């Protein structure tokens, strides 16, 4: 049997991550070595983008008005076997607050030397949808809030187009600190922040993750494939989270023609969550 030699980059990242975990204490020590890149299980995309849904006429699916709370969350997330039961609201909020304190004090990579402040994330502590982006930008670094610049304004409109407000979801990034000049995250920075992202997901336990852009998709799905080949189809992470990859709002600002494809992706998210798409004014 022919065996492939280990990828030196992945091996170096794994060693860095193990050193990170040891320094952080047992709270972040994983049960096993983080999985290497694996083939991404994706669902077949529809033959054609669905037409804009009409308003519901009283069927079994309960409608959600624009800005309203989404449908009640099921006990278990779809398609996954959870490693732990959902937390009581008080415990969930306490764990989020504790984790945020750890992020504020984090010195696990060199980004801490240049940041103004960390950007933990914000939104509902009981979201059906979690939104994961790449990293904070200049406005986010200044305010400590995720997606508040031009890309954030577009994200707010994208969520509103499927009847969700920012407070209905939880918005976060792979990195909690801004990379200089908004460059792409480096492997050691992603490894340093990985435990924070994965604990956020374990606390929040969303039914679905909207992954924005290649860095977020690659981290969540542990793949080297880019966003173009993965967007528009549901995929599952090695941990069992269901993900819809789509374009980052910053990319859509630079490439408005791609908004059509992103709208198709959002329609699939709305259908998956049983949300009624509000009519356009």
Question: pLDDT digit of tens for each residue in the chain (281 aa)?
Answer: 555 555 655 554 555 445 444 444 434 444 334 445 445 666 655 544 444 443 333 333 333 334 444 443 433 333 333 455 678 889 999 999 999 999 999 999 999 999 999 999 999 999 999 999 999 999 999 999 999 999 999 999 999 999 999 999 999 999 999 999 999 999 999 999 999 999 999 999 999 999 999 999 999 999 999 999 999 999 999 999 999 999 999 999 999 999 999 999 999 999 999 999 999 86
| pLDDT of amino acid 82 | 46
Contacts of 210 (CB under 8 A, 6+ apart): 129, 130, 131, 132, 169, 243, 244, 246, 269
How many helices, marked H, and strands, marked E, lie in the chain?
9, 6
Model pLDDT for residues 46-98, shown as the tens digit of each residue: 544 444 443 333 333 333 334 444 443 433 333 333 455 678 889 999 999 99
DSSP 257: G
| pLDDT of amino acid 41 | 63
Contacts of 173 (CB under 8 A, 6+ apart): 119, 121, 132, 133, 134, 135, 136, 140, 146, 216
| pLDDT of amino acid 89 | 87
| Placement of tokens 């305010």 in the chain | 143
Q: What angle do CA 173, 177, 181 make, to 5 degrees?
A: 105
Give all domains of the chain, ordered by start, each with its CATH number. 88-276 (3.40.470.10)
| pLDDT of amino acid 71 | 41
pTM: 0.75
Torsion sign, CA atoms 129, 135, 137, 143:
positive
């Amino acid at each position: 049997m022919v065996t492939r030699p280990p990828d030196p980059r992945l091996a170096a990242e794994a060693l860095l991550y193990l050193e990170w975990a040891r320094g952080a204490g047992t709270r972040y020590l994983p049960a096993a070595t983080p999985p290497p890149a694996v083939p991404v299980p994706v669902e077949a995309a529809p033959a054609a983008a669905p037409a804009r849904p009409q308003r519901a006429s009283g069927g079994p699916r309960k409608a959600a008005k624009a800005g309203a709370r989404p449908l009640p969350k099921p006990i278990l997330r779809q398609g996954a076997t959870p490693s732990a039961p959902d937390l009581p609201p008080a415990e969930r909020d306490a764990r989020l607050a504790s984790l945020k304190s750890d992020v504020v004090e984090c010195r696990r990579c060199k980004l801490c030397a240049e940041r103004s402040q960390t950007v933990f994330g914000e939104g509902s502590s009981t979201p059906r949808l979690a939104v994961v982006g790449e990293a904070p930008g200049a406005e986010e670094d200044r305010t400590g809030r995720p997606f508040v610049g031009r890309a954030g304004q577009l994200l707010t409109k994208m969520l509103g187009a499927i009847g969700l407000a920012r407070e209905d979801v939880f918005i976060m990034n792979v990195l909690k600190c801004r990379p200089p000049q908004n460059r792409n995250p480096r492997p050691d920075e992603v490894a340093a922040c990985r435990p924070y992202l994965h604990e956020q997901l374990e606390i929040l336990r969303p039914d679905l993750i909207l992954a924005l852009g290649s860095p977020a998709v690659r981290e969540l799905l542990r793949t080297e494939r880019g966003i173009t080949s993965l967007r528009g189809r549901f995929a599952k992470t090695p941990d069992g989270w269901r993900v819809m990859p789509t374009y980052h709002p910053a990319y859509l600002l630079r490439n408005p023609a791609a908004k059509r494809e992103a709208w198709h992706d959002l329609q699939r998210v709305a259908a998956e969550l049983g949300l009624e798409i509000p009519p356009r004014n």
